[in-house]
């Protein structure tokens, strides 16, 4: 949810609550003052009626608003206020009235004098207040929305500009600067902090890149020397069998270390997007070519390759990365397939799918693409093949997933 939407929602919620409370209070205040004013008017009317009777001796009667009748009660009665209902023959319904009455002695006679006036019906009053309050509330909300939107867009414009510039940030651009300028101190401070942060990221990246390249080079050099010395030792004619085995074992491990450093360097380069050269790669031809490379391994395990490869499937990517993806996926399927199994390879313009029969995983499938993750701990595999595949897919924004159905291990790449 955007900040503007959230603030508008908060404004609407608070304003709505405030208007409901204000409407209720307004209803009770209006009702109180109306009834108070009505009481004063009726009291004044009674005083005028009494004065008229004393002066003229006539009994004014205007029913239902004025009612005067002679009564036989012995004692006088002070003012009494009640609300009553009187049937209206014209509207054919009962109308609420406020009545103030008393019994008073005038010119030696006792009279019941009542002054009445209509009360606003509560339903009508509530309806009127609701209409007025709702109208004002809606107008206020509309005004608040457009005013807040206009102000927010102007105030937050530098922030969104900074955000757009940050989206274009790349760690291999040392001259990165934020061009957005704001008169607000908070945004100015934010830009300064972000510039320091991006410069730190660029500096750290450059340092890590140099360290990785230097470390790889420095490791490969002594390894090459060791391999050369071991090869020389293996050529000695008077070597004993156990000595030759020890030298050969050391030689094999140096080869594994060399391959490991090269693979880790490759992973680092992929993660740092150091393969910018991109072109249209014919994945159909590449698949056919790499399947032939594994022919000896396929024949050695009596595997059957079933292919459904759509011709002329081109991908816009780096050729070396596409080659690494295909080699690792095919190699993984061949290596982990059971003897005599069938490997299915399907390719179209939208996805590549490679499946092979094998035992169910003994560990969670979620970790399958992690570095140094091996399903068989006794295997001499580095556990980096699928990690490389994952990094290549991440760099190219492809989706990769693993499925296991009916004893088939399936890796699917969606382009």
DSSP state of 413: E
77-88 and 342-347 as β-strands: parallel, antiparallel, unpaired?
A: unpaired
Q: How many other CB atoms are found less than 10 A from the CB of residue 216?
A: 17
Q: Which fold has domain 186-271?
A: Helix Hairpins (1.10.287)
- Kindly report the CATH number that applies to the domain delimited by 279-414: 3.30.565.10
Q: Tell me the whole-structure pTM to 2 decimals.
A: 0.48
Rg (CA), the chain: 46
Cβ distance 375 to 363 under 8 Å?
Answer: yes
- Report domain extents, the chain: 3-128, 186-271, 279-414
Q: Residue 412: enclosing H or E segment and its boundaries?
A: strand 408-414
Gap between the Cα atoms of 406 and 396, Å rounded: 31
- pLDDT (tens, 9 = 90+) of the chain, 415 residues, equals 566 667 767 777 887 788 778 777 877 777 787 778 878 888 888 888 888 878 777 777 777 888 888 887 667 778 888 888 888 777 788 888 888 888 888 877 888 888 888 876 555 666 777 787 778 778 877 887 777 777 777 777 777 787 777 777 766 666 667 776 677 777 778 888 888 888 887 777 777 777 766 766 677 777 777 878 788 878 887 778 888 888 888 877 777 777 667 666 776 777 666 677 888 889 899 888 888 888 888 888 888 889 888 888 898 888 888 888 888 888 888 888 888 889 998 998 888 999 888 777 766 666 666 665 555 554 555 567 778 888 888 888 888 888 888 778 888 889 8
Buried b (16+ CB within 10 A) or exposed e, 137-157: beeebeeeeeeeeeeeeeebe
């Amino acid at each position: 949810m955007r900040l503007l939407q959230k603030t508008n929602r908060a404004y609407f919620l608070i304003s709505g609550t405030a208007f409901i409370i204000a409407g209720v209070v307004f209803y009770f205040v209006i009702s109180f003052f109306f009834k108070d004013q009505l009481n004063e008017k009726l009291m004044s009317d009674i005083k005028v009626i009494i004065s008229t009777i004393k002066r003229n001796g006539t009994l004014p009667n205007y029913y239902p608003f004025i009612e005067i009748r002679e009564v036989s009660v012995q004692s006088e009665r002070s003012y009494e206020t009640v609300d009553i209902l009187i049937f209206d023959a014209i509207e054919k319904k009962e109308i609420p009235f406020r009545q103030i009455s008393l019994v008073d002695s005038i010119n030696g006679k006792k009279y019941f004098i009542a002054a009445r006036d209509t009360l606003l019906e509560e339903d009508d009053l509530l309806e009127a207040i609701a209409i007025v309050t709702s109208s004002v509330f809606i107008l206020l909300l509309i005004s608040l929305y457009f005013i807040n939107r206009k102000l927010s867009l102007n105030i937050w414009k530098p922030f969104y500009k900074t955000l757009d510039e940050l989206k274009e940030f790349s760690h291999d651009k040392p001259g990165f600067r934020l061009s957005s300028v704001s008169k607000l101190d908070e945004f100015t401070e934010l830009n300064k902090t972000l510039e320091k942060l991006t410069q730190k990221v660029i500096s750290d990246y450059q340092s890590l890149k140099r360290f990785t390249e230097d470390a790889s080079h420095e490791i490969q050099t002594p390894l090459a020397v060791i391999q050369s010395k071991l090869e020389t030792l293996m050529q000695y004619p008077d070597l004993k069998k156990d000595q030759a085995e020890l030298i050969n074992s050391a030689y094999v491990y140096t080869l594994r270390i060399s391959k490991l450093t090269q693979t880790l360097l490759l992973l680092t380069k992929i993660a740092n997007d150091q393969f910018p050269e991109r072109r249209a790669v014919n994945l159909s031809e590449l698949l056919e070519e790499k399947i032939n490379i594994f022919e000896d391994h396929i024949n050695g395990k009596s595997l059957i390759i079933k292919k459904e490869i759509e011709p002329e499937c081109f991908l816009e990517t780096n050729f070396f990365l596409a080659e690494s993806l295909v080699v690792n996926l095919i190699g993984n399927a061949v290596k982990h397939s059971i003897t005599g199994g069938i490997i299915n390879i399907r390719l179209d313009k939208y996805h590549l799918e490679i499946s092979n029969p094998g035992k169910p995983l003994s560990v969670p499938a979620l970790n399958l693409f992690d570095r140094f993750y091996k399903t068989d701990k006794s295997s001499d595999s580095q556990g980096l093949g699928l990690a490389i595949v994952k990094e290549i897919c991440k760099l190219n924004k492809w989706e990769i997933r693993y499925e296991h159905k009916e004893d088939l291990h399936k890796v699917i790449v969606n382009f």
